[in-house]
């Protein structure tokens, strides 16, 4: 349920979500404020709580804005921007041209585009990196499937914000294309991790023992991926 409250002349919009639990929680997301409350929680108290927490909400929102500004400054999607691919730093070359293309030349990633606006460059670079991710992930699957000894069902490569890979109950695997920007060992780790789920559908000691057979230092790359490392597509 969408609600609005006025605090010091400013409107705060929030989403009230009734849950089965007894506790109340406010979650500030980049584009939304969510208030989780028990079924019987009065609307008037929900509004008052948001009013009481207005300073804290404003602070949390400022942090998101600052974070986005920092990311935008670091990765402006303009000529000369650094782009990590398979653990190496490349330099983005943005070139005007009537026919779009994208390719690697030495340590440069060249984007030729009829529209050099940053959001268009971003889309072109994303398309190029997704292509590389698809190729690379298939190659590494071909390498590790015979070693691990079980083949997955369907393999899909898509974009996710935080998840690097997953394995369904049917043995279908899913990988995040953003892995192409990580060191190759980190990508290998996720490939091994998901293939090992074809034996152990959990994260038990037996599962990790199996992962370690193909990558004894897996914890280094697991921690790396959890560390919130910087890349142009956060
Ligand atoms: Zn897992």
Chain centre distance of CA 74: 17
Mean pLDDT by 10 residues, the chain (234 residues): 92 94 90 93 96 94 84 88 95 96 97 95 97 98 98 95 92 98 97 98 97 97 90 88
pLDDT for the residue 131: 97
Distance (angstroms) between ligand 1 centre and the Cα of 193 equals 6
Distance (angstroms) between ligand 1 centre and the Cα of 222 equals 11
Note the helical H segments in 75-215. Answer: 118-148, 184-196, 205-214
pLDDT for the residue 64: 84
pLDDT for the residue 116: 95
pLDDT for the residue 234: 83
pLDDT for the residue 229: 86
pLDDT for the residue 120: 95
Domain extents for the chain? 2-74, 82-226
Element holding 105 (H helix, E strand): strand 101-105
Distance (angstroms) between ligand 1 centre and the Cα of 166 equals 6
pLDDT for the residue 96: 96
Distance (angstroms) between ligand 1 centre and the Cα of 69 equals 33
pLDDT for the residue 178: 97
Note the helical H segments in the chain. Answer: 43-52, 54-74, 118-148, 184-196, 205-214, 218-226
- For domain 82-226, give the fold: Zincin-like (3.30.2010)
Tokens of residue 190, six digits: 């996720």
């Amino acid at each position: 349920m969408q609600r609005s409250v006025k605090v010091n002349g400013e409107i705060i919009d929030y989403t009230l979500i009734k849950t089965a639990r007894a506790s109340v929680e406010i979650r500030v997301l980049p584009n939304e404020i969510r208030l989780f409350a028990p079924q019987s929680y009065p609307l008037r108290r929900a509004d008052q709580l948001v009013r009481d927490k207005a300073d804290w909400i404003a602070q949390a929102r400022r942090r998101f804005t600052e974070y986005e500004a920092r990311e935008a400054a670091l990765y402006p999607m303009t000529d000369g921007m650094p782009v990590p691919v398979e653990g190496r730093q490349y330099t983005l070359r943005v070139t005007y041209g009537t026919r779009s293309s994208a390719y690697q030349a030495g340590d440069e990633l060249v984007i030729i585009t009829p529209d050099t606006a940053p959001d268009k460059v971003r889309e072109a670079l994303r398309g190029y990196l997704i292509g590389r991710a698809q190729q690379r992930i298939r190659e590494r699957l071909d390498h590790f499937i015979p070693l691990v000894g079980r083949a997955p069902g369907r393999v899909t490569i898509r974009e996710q914000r935080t998840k690097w890979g997953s394995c369904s109950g049917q043995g279908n695997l899913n990988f995040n294309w953003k892995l192409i920007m990580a060191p190759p060992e980190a990508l290998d780790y996720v490939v091994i991790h998901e293939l090992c789920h074809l034996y152990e559908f959990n994260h038990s000691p037996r599962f990790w023992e199996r992962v370690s057979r193909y990558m004894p230092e897996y914890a280094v790359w697991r921690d790396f991926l959890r560390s919130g490392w910087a890349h142009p597509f956060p």
